[in-house]
Amino acid sequence: MIFKSSKRILPVFLLAAFFIATSTTTAQDKLKKMPRYDQYQQMSSQLYSSVKRISPNVNWSADGKTFTYIDDGQLNTYDVGLKKVIKSEEFTPAPRSQFSRGDRPERGRQYASAISPDEKFKAFTKDRNMYISNPDGSNVTAITTDGNDENQIKYGIATWVYGEELDQNTAMWWSPDSKKVAFYRFEEKDATKYYVLYHQTKIQDSVEVEAYPKVGAKNLPVDLLVYDLETKKTTVLDTRDGQPYNDGAIGTYLYDIEWSPDGKELLFHSTNRKQDIMELKAGDPETGKTRVVVREEWPASFTLNSPEFYKLKDNKHFIWMSERNGFKNYYLYNFNGKLINKITDHNFEVRRIVDVDEAKKLVYYLAASGDNHMKMQLHRVKLDGKNDVRLTDPAYNHNVILSPNGKHFVDIAQTHNIAPFMNLMNDKGKVVSEIVKSDWSKFNELGLKTVERFQFTSADGETQLDGLIHFPSDFDPSKKYPLILSNYGGPSTNAFTENFTLPSPITEFGFLVVNIDGRNVGGRGKKMLDKLYGNLGIVEMDDFAEGIKSLYNRPYFDKTRVGVYGTSYGGTVAAMSLLRFPEVYHAAVANSAVTDWRNYDNIYTERYMNLIENNKKGYDASNLMSYANNLNGELMIFYGTNDNNVHPANSLQLIQALQKAGKSFEVQVGPDLGHTAVNFSRMMEFFIQHLILK
């Protein structure tokens, strides 16, 4: 995925772009002389502190009689029976975990070693082979010896794409009893390599060579092996029903590896290349035989790669999230692969399991059963699927912290324009006590405006979609304002949110700012995303443009001055929007954009675009270079020369196409920078110059 996101909560491609770090270079020198710079400086410095935040750091006592929470720098202990705070002390945050740079894997990489659960052994990879040693590195034993640069076989390490797209930050897994260790084997010899130049600002540069399979390219053959420390035997799991590696069939991708709760089997996910079939499988580390536990299929597009997987303490059952009815729901299975029963059967999506009370056979979970798909609600249901009840107010979005005995929960509720408040609730969903309210006084004193939700009809003429609009603090409805779209826009992501949203500081330069959902939106079911499948760059961009047009009737919006920016998938949104809709957008900043999906890795891209032999038309339609002649507005392209995610070739191809088309545009380069964005001040200079000063 172009940017990382929370794997279970906000899945897929490039969600992490929401959290992208921009260049840390100093501010550009022209911005300080531009209109409203002082206004921006004054307001942006106070924006974050304008509403007192409520910390989600709530901890219950083991007996469920008290809990602690943080308010105004105080750690308060609340007594449920007395309904009051019984102790307050100054809160001191725990020190951050002290990982060294060498210990933490970089993005897309894996840890190079793993300590056994009993802390007696260390497994590690070195020079393409696997080893076992004492934790201090002494008494080394080689598990494998045939990995080398010539045959390009490697053990105990995965590929960058496995780390990026399948969240594999480790490539070795100890059994719970510390007697076995499982690990990857990859063969890179026939894989297409990509070369990224580093240190280009130095006297001598360097190169990174990565087996990075792009759309249509060969995948790396992959296997799972298990080494038994007692017998010194290595077993290769039969992950493909006795067949050799087949780039396309089930077993093309092997990931989400973990040991079963009893330590007797190795669990893993296996998909075909198209990723419309996914199997949870279990392998016997003694014989190598494997079996299917759960099989998921969604021929219309793709399956969920890593469903929520909650293992019960009896070591015999688990709760599995599946989209098989078109929405994420929960199912109870045993480890033999038998479906015991459905737990939920909603036409809205479950989000995550909060807790399971196995003694009482109760499941507590969050689901999108509120007034809209972004308002999460706490539900309680029996393990057999009976007596499902919603325990929270559907008018709000909720985050809950359940007491150990299930008799109470702390509820932090909010919406896009209502700041969070914290209540103590009983097991009937009734308010026991109001604990903390957000303080709006500074927000109001500064004259800040809450963001506004708006709705519109998508380009298909039938789907209702959402957006948010941000206003400057001194907004005057009698004036005309330019507008900027700030979107990430990737599959299963959400621009509209029901978390409290402060107005964008960009508004203080004199802009309206909007975030708009298209049919790329997450949380509204599988059939919504099926409309996007095979059509990246078309369907969602059509909808973003419709969202802009839906605001044309607002007298304070100047539809002749519209900008768009974003990073990664958001960069693609920016460039494609300007090129495909020159009548809607007039300026764009495209950071680290994918300009042709043939340039991106096959795991991510083929998941959403299908195999290229099945969808050449879709790939052609999403190629930005084919729209180069459409450029009428102002475009800034930014890329980092070290970008090993969205490779510089993406931006360079677009630059070349625009040059051939005889178009004028601007390029900003991040020397020795990776997957990132242009300096914020430089971006604002660009937008002010073209949307305000012109």
Q: Encode pLDDT of 379-428 as tens digits.
A: 999 999 999 999 999 999 999 999 999 999 999 999 999 999 999 999 99
- Between strands 84-90 and 74-79, the pairing is antiparallel
Q: What is the pLDDT of residues 320-332, one digit of tens each?
A: 999 999 999 999 9
What was the pLDDT predicted at 95? 74
Q: Model-level pTM?
A: 0.94
* pLDDT score for 200: 96
d(CA 122, CA 270): 27
Token pair listed for 511: 């802009």
Torsion of CA 227, 231, 236, 239, to 10 degrees: -90
C-alpha separations of 185 from 145, 223, 240, 539 in Å: 12, 5, 15, 39
Q: Is-contact 456 546, C-beta < 8 A?
A: yes
Q: How confident is the model at residue 103 (pLDDT cuts 50, 70, 90)?
A: low
- Measured from the Cβ of residue 560, the count of other Cβ atoms closer than 10 Å reads 9
Q: State how far the Cα of 402 lies from the Cα of 424, in Å rounded to an integer.
A: 10
Q: What is the mean pLDDT of residues 253-280?
A: 98
Grade residue 97 by pLDDT with cuts at 50, 70 and 90.
low
Looking at residue 683, its amino acid is M
Helices (H), 186-271: none
**Span 504-557, pLDDT tens digits:** 999 999 999 999 999 999 999 999 999 999 999 999 999 999 999 999 999 999
Q: Which helix (H) or strand (E) holds 624?
A: none
Q: How confident is the model at residue 94 (pLDDT cuts 50, 70, 90)?
A: confident
pLDDT-based confidence at 378, cuts 50/70/90? Answer: very high
Indicate whether 22 pLDDT > 80. Answer: no
- pLDDT, one tens digit per residue, over 118-128 is 999 999 999 99
Q: What integer pLDDT is reported at residue 24 of this predicted model?
A: 39
Angstrom distances, CA of residue 243 to CA of 103, 176, 188, 250, 253: 37, 30, 19, 10, 15
Instruction: Give the integer Cα–Cα distance in Å for 454 and 465.
Output: 9
Sheet holding 481-486, edge to edge: 452-457, 464-470, 512-516, 481-486, 557-567, 587-591, 634-640, 666-670
Q: Quick one: residue 73, left, alpha or beta (phi over 0 = left, psi -120 to 50 = alpha)?
A: left
Given a contact cutoff of 8 angstroms between Cβ atoms, the answer to whether 637 and 665 are in contact is yes
Return mean pLDDT, the chain. 94
Contact 383, 364 (CB under 8 A): no
Question: Token digits for 173?
Answer: 């897994």
Mapped onto helix, strand or coil, the DSSP state of residue 318 is: strand
**Rg for the chain (alpha carbons), in Å?**
26
Runs of H (alpha helix) within 494-538:
526-532
HSE (side-chain half, CA atoms, 13 Å) at 255: 23
| Helix (H), strand (E) at residue 683 | helix 680-688
| Residue of 146 and 9 predicted with greater confidence | 146
Give me 597's structure tokens.
């999906």
**What's the rounded Cα separation, in Å, for the pair 238 and 42?**
63
Residue 592, class by beta-carbon neighbours within 10 Å (0-12 exposed, 13-18 middle, 19+ buried)?
buried
Structure tokens at 541: 């961009």
Residue 18 — very low, low, confident or very high, per pLDDT cuts 50/70/90? very low
Percent of the chain with pLDDT over 70: 95
Alpha-carbon gap, residue 576 to 571, rounded angstroms: 8
Helix axes 569-580, 539-549, angle to 10 degrees: 70
Query: With 60 as the cut, is the pLDDT of residue 21 above it?
Result: no
How does pLDDT run across 40-62, given as a tens digit for each residue?
A: 999 999 999 999 889 999 999 99
Contact between 393 and 413 under an 8 Å Cβ cutoff? The reply is yes
Cα–Cα distance for residue pair 582/585, rounded to 1 Å: 5
Nearest to 650 by CA among 576, 574, 599, 591: 599
| Interior/surface letters 602-618, b for 16+ CB within 10 angstroms, e for the rest | bbbbbbbbbbbeebeeb
pLDDT of 174 strictly over 50: yes
When pLDDT is cut at 50, 70 and 90, the band that residue 98 belongs to is very low
Left (φ > 0), alpha (ψ -120 to 50) or beta: where does 195 sit? beta
Asked whether residue 6 carries a pLDDT value surpassing 60, the answer given is no
Read off the amino acid at residue 235: T
Q: Return the residue matching tokens 């449920």.
A: 80
User: pLDDT value at position 85?
Assistant: 97
DSSP notation for 629-672: GG--SEEEEEEETT-SSS-THHHHHHHHHHHHTT---EEEEETT
Cross-strand partners of 512:
483
Query: Using an 8 Å Cβ cutoff, are 294 and 303 in contact?
Result: no
Whether the pLDDT of residue 23 is over 70: the answer is no
Reference 569, options 635, 670, 645, 497; nearest CA is 645
Mean pLDDT of the region 243-266: 97
Q: Where are the beta strands (DSSP E) in 568-633?
A: 587-591
Q: Does position 16 have pLDDT exceeding 50, yes or no?
A: no
Task: Tell me the two tokens of residue 392.
Answer: 């929270």
Q: Are 680 and 625 in contact (CB under 8 A)?
A: no
| d(C-alpha 55, C-alpha 121), whole Å | 39
Give the residue from 313, 162, 181 showing the smallest Cα distance to 259: 181
Helix (H) or strand (E) holding 40: helix 37-47
Q: Which of 64, 63, 85, 82 is nearest to 74 (CA)?
A: 85
Q: Phi, psi at residue 31, to the nearest 5°?
A: -60, -35
